[in-house]
Amino acid sequence: MSDRILGAACVAASAAMAWAARDYAAAISYEPVGPRAFPLLLAALLAVGGLWLVAKPALRGAAAYRHVPLRATALAAAAVVAYALLFETLGFTLATALMAVPLGLVFGGTLRATLAGGVALGVVLYFLFDKALDVVLPTGVLAFLLGGR
Cα gap 97→116, rounded to integer Å:
9
Question: Quick one: DSSP state of residue 140?
Answer: G
The last residue of one of the domains, among 65, 93, 115, is 65
Q: What digits encode the pLDDT tens for the residues 16-64? A: 888 888 887 766 666 666 667 778 888 888 888 888 888 876 655 555 5
Structural domain span for residue 25? 1-65
Q: What digits encode the pLDDT tens for the residues 118-145? A: 999 999 998 888 878 778 888 888 777 7
Q: Are residues 72 and 132 in the same domain?
A: yes
Tell me what pLDDT residue 18 has.
87
**pTM for this one?**
0.58
State the Cα angle at 66 between 76 and 57, rounded to 5°: 105
Q: Are residues 75 and 148 in the same domain?
A: yes
Q: Are residues 17 and 37 in the same domain?
A: yes
- AA identity, residue 71: R
Cα gap 2→84, rounded to integer Å:
27
Q: Are residues 127 and 79 in the same domain?
A: yes
